Amino acid sequence: MTNSLHTLLNARLLDPATSTDTIGGVLINDGLVLDWGHHITKDNLPGGASSEDCGGHCLSPGLVDAHAYLCEPGKEHRETMATAGLAAAAGGVTTVNAFPATEPVIDDPSLVEMIARRALQTCPVNICITGALTKGMEGSEMAELGLMAEAGVVAFSDGQKAIGDINMMRRALGYSTMFGKPIIVHAEEPNLAASGVMTGGRTATFMGLKSIPACAEAILVERDIRLVAMTGAKWHAAHLSTADALNSIRRAKDEQIDVTAGTAPHYHSLNDMEVGEYRTFARVSPPLRVEEDRMAVVAALKDGTIDVISSQHLPQSADSKRLPFAQAKPGVIGLETMLPVSLRLYHNQEMDLLSLLRTMTVAPAKLLGLDCGTIEIGKPADLCLFDLGKPWQVVGSELKSKSKNTAFDGHLLQGRVLKTLVRGKTVFELQGS
């Protein structure tokens, strides 16, 4: 399909921004949405328009992934923007927010501009960039936030490094208010989490592994909420995993404090039992929690305490995972499985479809200040066509990411992306669909 007049017909149109759930079509011209809705049918197509029948499958805005590590520059043996783009497209993700844990760290405007150019040249999906909050992500000296904001970053973060210095965090939050960009944090008190490898509880004790107490998350969340209330900054907790931390977020929202929260598919669908026989592909940061915490994450998604689901895509080489559990590097890939795994919440009748899609479209777009995540006339036709009921089994070696460290290898899922479009151009199509 080329960027000319083209119509997607007979689709279940799902647009959380407008609460649309109807059968209809989307008319695309030169990569932009010319018209869309229930009135777009095969009987009223404009002359010269080609058409494609979607077979009644779901057609939503392309997903927006607010948290992914693309590894380029410096760690291309694990992932590149090109391979991450292929994985994103296969997962229905049309916009990816690249985090700054690269070599060198993205902490100055020249690197922001270089990565933006590289993404345009090599990546089939849209890339936005989060700049480091501190120089080298070392937590001691603030990075050039203003210059990076001018260069186009959408947020600031030190990735998986929590800032332990409360005065450093206070200054950063206060300074960030000048630019209107959110600070995205890894909510884990670093001293409590130091050298721990899995969540505290019976499983860690039985396995003889050093644990991270669940309260490490809530302690940092409570600290930062008070700083946000004082500074008025925009603050987002990237991947919450515990009931206590989520209760803190709930209270802060009740108090009208400007905080948002996210999680990742592995936190709403897996618990610490997934570690099994020291399974390193289940080692993540923060760690997989006990079942009660997993259920609290699901409840927080249902009631809106959690705003965003992101992939927390973190490729690791095979060698870094083929180590004893305590020595293996944390992280899983997730771009390709974010939607199918999250659809478990729909199939289990824990969330309705529009509310679920909101967490992966318009909500992350709003968080990052992006003009996407909706189907809207005049906007780029970034779209995801998926079969809500299609069963399939995850085979790690067949995923498109350069690294294969998925926590869902062998899992049976229901729901799969059939086609992904970026500016009206097909960037992924499931073979045999």
Residue 104 lies in a domain: yes
User: What one-letter code names the amino acid at 102?
Assistant: T
CB 231 within 8 A of CB 173: yes
CB burial string 359-379: b at 16+ within 10 A, e below: bbbbbbbbbbebebbbbbeeb
Query: What pLDDT, on the 0 to 100 scale, is given for residue 44?
Result: 84
Q: What is the mean pLDDT of the chain?
A: 95
Residue recorded with tokens 């824990």: 350
**24: confidence class by pLDDT, cuts 50, 70, 90:** very high
242: Cβ contacts below 8 Å, ≥ 6 apart: 214, 215, 217, 218, 286, 289, 293, 296
pLDDT above 70: residue 433: no
244: Cβ contacts below 8 Å, ≥ 6 apart: 214, 215, 217, 218
Structural domain including 279 reads 61-368
pLDDT tens sequence across 247-282: 999 999 999 999 999 999 999 999 999 998 899 999
Burial of 41 (0-12, 13-18, 19+ CB in 10 A): middle
pLDDT above 60: residue 43: yes
Number of domains in the chain: 1
Residue 374 lies in a domain: no
Residue 287 lies in a domain: yes
Residue 230 lies in a domain: yes
Higher per-residue pLDDT: 336 or 1 = 336
pLDDT tens sequence across 178-193: 999 999 999 999 999 9
Residue 145 lies in a domain: yes
CATH number at residue 88: 3.20.20.140
Residue 53 lies in a domain: no
Structure tokens at 104: 């060198």
Query: What pLDDT, on the 0 to 100 scale, is given for residue 216?
Result: 96
Residue 9 lies in a domain: no
Percent of the chain at pLDDT > 70 equals 99
Residue 183 lies in a domain: yes
pLDDT tens sequence across 131-175: 999 999 999 999 999 999 999 999 999 999 999 999 999 999 999
